[in-house]
Amino acid sequence: MRSFSWLLFTIFSLLLSCLLLVRTSETDGAETQDGASILGHLEPLGSRNIKHSLEVIQNFPDPKTFFETYVVPGRPVLIQNAAKLSTAFHKWSDEYFLSRPEANEVKIQVEQRKKEERTGPYAEIPFSEFVKSYKEKDVYMVSSVPEFMKSDVLLPSPLLCRDITETSDMLTDAVMWFSSGGTKSVLHFDDGLENINCLFAGTKELLFIDYHKYKHVVPIDFPEGRYSGVDVDRVDFVKYPGLINVEYYNVTLKAGDCLYIPHRWFHQVRSYNRNIAVNLWWKYTPNFVPEDCDGMEQNQTLDKFTFTTVEKLIDQPEETLMNHLEHFLGKSVQISFKTFVQKIRKDPYFGNNNVLTWTEDMKSTTKKLFKLMDTDEDKSFSWADLEELEKADDETIRALTNEYFRLGDLMERAQEKLQENDELNEEDYEDGAGDGDYDIHPVKRSGKRNSKEEL
């Protein structure tokens, strides 16, 4: 009897141990799944990641050196004290702003929250009204430098070349960022633009991520605006696992400093204290180094040059999309999904007639895009659909534009892989030829496409 009781006790103990083991495993799994075990989860962006220091120089080099050393290879650099050369560094007090009669007339654009979300419209108010109220309100001026203030800001000396200043649309915009501090930008990148940001008051902290190293893992879930939806104060590593092992460059920008931000480098910005900066955007041109710089007058202010406007930059994605959709229709009354896919594959912005491997993401995004285009849900895209889209609300256009740019990014990635494979094939061919294998020829990719292939 005693031995039987002991057997029951042993069996019960084993069952209890197994139950506890299962519960422990479930708890551990849940902890990993909800991110609690990931260092830096729900903490500010980059708080526990590896960080590197940025290169620091004391003066702007000559244009050729600046472009060859930093712009062409895409290397960010901090230029200390460069902004102190502009009279804005000494003159731009609130009292000075309000002393100018133009301040009552000029209207500027204001973000209505210091923590950037990019979901709401800008407010448009007189500059003088902003200056009188910005210290008490949760607002942030993000607007082209008013004309009457451009004579206070120097164009950075590396841009003083005729093939920059006299080339149409090369100088894109000069934007003023003005707040009482405490602003937090989204994680984003500037597509098609190079950037020099000069700080005249306050302090800024920036986190950089090398686009070329991490472009396939940093989550840009709002591709239309080229930004991520990650909360920069509480990074959710379960939702954004690509950010777990990213390495950052960090830099503190002090009043009087300028910073070069390369094309497409991811960055996130925080500002402190009364804060005024002006950034100069110019058009990204691969491998461009200015040549026509000799004899240019030095120390020229922004009012001497022509810039395109920030409004044009903001409207461009929607305009690009609508023009592209019109191009897809061509002379057809309507097109099917199958025809749409064929046109995408031939289009220079998307497939460019390359034989690309279609991923599940590409298939899914193409279907979502076409579904949004098909407003009457008749499984085709027509001129009537296009007319409806031109009248659609902002939310619909934002969703459509996001899928459009997401597909473009996915196909760009596929083309990069195709190019990498071609380069590897070429290397294999050259290595073989060097060993005397003259019968080996590089594989030529067929330009033919299976018209029956479905997404």
Write down the pLDDT at residue 152: 98
| Residue 86 forms part of a structural domain | yes
Q: What is the pLDDT of residue 29?
A: 36
**Claim to verify: residue 192 and residue 296 sit in the same structural domain:** yes
For residue 219, which of 209, 210, 228, 231 has the smallest C-alpha distance?
A: 228
The enclosing domain of 223 has a CATH number of 2.60.120.650
With respect to residue 143, please indicate whether it lies within any of the assigned structural domains. yes
Task: Establish if 1 belongs to a structural domain.
Answer: no
In a domain, 18, yes or no: no
Q: Are residues 296 and 412 in the same domain?
A: no
Is 430 a member of any domain? no
CA neighbours closer than 13 Å in the CB half-sphere of residue 271: 26
Domain co-membership, 302 together with 327: no
Same domain, 111 and 201: yes
Same domain for 220 and 343, yes or no, is: no
Nearest to 282 by CA among 197, 172, 153: 172
Residue with tokens 């279907």: 367
Structural domain contains residue 162: yes
Provide the domain count of the chain.
2
Q: Are 255 and 130 part of one and the same domain?
A: yes
Assess if residue 97 is contained within a domain: yes
Residue whose C-alpha is closest to residue 276's, from 79, 53, 90, 54: 90
Q: What tokens does 60 get?
A: 């702007």
Evaluate whether residue 256 is within a structural domain: yes
CA pair distance 33, 2, nearest whole angstrom = 46
Tokens of 263: 């094309």
Sign of the four-CA dihedral 381, 382, 388, 392? positive
Instruction: Name the residue among 192, 198, 157 with its Cα closest to residue 174.
Output: 198
Are 270 and 390 part of one and the same domain? no
Residues with Cβ within 8 Å of 375's Cβ and at least 6 positions away in sequence, in order, are 384, 385, 388, 389, 392
Same domain for 259 and 332, yes or no, is: no
The reply to whether 265 and 387 lie within a common domain is: no
Domain boundary among 292, 309, 326: 309
CATH number for the domain spanning 373: value is 1.10.238
Q: Are residues 231 and 365 in the same domain?
A: no
Longest dimension (CA), the chain: 109
Distance CA 227, CA 240 (A): 13
- Judgement on whether residues 229 and 346 belong to the same structural domain of the protein: no
| Residues spanned by the domain of 123 | 51-309
pLDDT of residue 4: 45
Does residue 228 share a domain with residue 297? yes
Helix/strand/coil for 189 = coil
CA distance 397 to 402: 8
Could you list the pLDDT tens digit for every one of the 455 residues in the chain?
444 454 444 444 444 444 433 333 333 333 345 677 899 999 999 999 999 999 999 999 999 999 999 999 999 999 999 999 999 999 999 999 999 999 999 999 999 999 998 877 889 999 999 999 999 999 999 999 999 999 999 999 999 999 999 988 899 999 999 999 999 999 999 988 999 999 999 999 999 999 989 988 998 988 888 999 999 999 999 999 999 999 999 999 999 999 999 999 999 999 999 999 999 999 999 999 999 999 999 999 999 999 976 455 444 556 677 888 888 888 888 999 999 988 888 887 776 666 777 788 888 889 989 999 999 999 999 999 999 988 888 788 878 888 888 888 888 777 777 776 665 555 544 444 333 332 323 333 333 333 333 33
- Is the separation of the CB atoms in 249 and 52 below 8 Å? yes
SS3 state at 208: strand
Residues 217 and 303 sit within 8 Å (Cβ to Cβ) = no
Q: Which residues 6+ apart lie within 8 Å of 38 measured at CB?
A: 32, 237, 244
pLDDT in tens, 168-225: 889 999 999 999 999 999 999 998 899 999 999 999 999 999 998 998 899 898 888 8
